[in-house]
Amino acid sequence: MACLTKLKQDIKLLERAFPKESDRSFRILSASVDEINCVFIDESGGKHRINANITETYPQSPPIWFSEDEDQNISSTIESISETTSNNYGIINQVKILIQELCTVHHIPLPDSLGMLGGPVLEKEPVGVKPHESSDEDDDEDFMAMEDDTHHESKFKENVDGIDTENIVILEKLKQNQRKDYLQGSVSGSVLATDRLMKELRDIYRSDSYKKGIYSVDLVNDSLYEWSIKLRKVDPDSTLHGDLESYKEKMGRDHILLNFTYKDNFPCEPPFVRVVTPVLQGGYVLGGGAICMELLTRQGWSSAYNMESVILQIAATLVKGKARIQFGAPKNQYSLARAQQSFKSLVQIHEKNGWFTPPKEDG
* Catalytic residue (one of 38, 103, 268, 292): 292
Whether 292 is catalytic is: yes
Q: Note the pLDDT of residue 119.
A: 63
Phi/psi at 141 (5° precision)? -65, -40
Q: Return d(Cα 34, Cα 246) in angstroms, integer.
A: 48
Averaged pLDDT of the chain: 83
Cα(50)–Cα(37) distance, rounded to whole angstroms?
6
More confident residue, 150 or 177: 177
Residue 290 has pLDDT above 70, yes or no: yes
Domains and CATH numbers, the chain: 1-110 (3.10.110.10), 164-355 (3.10.110.10)
| Spatial separation of the C-alpha atoms in residues 168 and 42, rounded to whole Å | 36
Task: Kindly write down the DSSP assignment for every residue of 146-214, as one continuous string.
Answer: HHHHHHHHHHHHH-BTTB-HHHHHHHHHHHHHHHHHHHHT---S-HHHHHHHHHHHHHHHH-HHHHTTS
**Sequence letter at residue 346:** L
Does the structure show a pLDDT above 60 at 319? Answer: yes
The H-or-E segment that residue 187 falls in is none
pLDDT tens track for 84-109: 788 888 999 999 999 999 999 888 99
Report which of residues 56 and 245 the model is more confident about.
Answer: 245
pTM: 0.57
Answer whether residue 362 shows pLDDT above 50. Answer: no
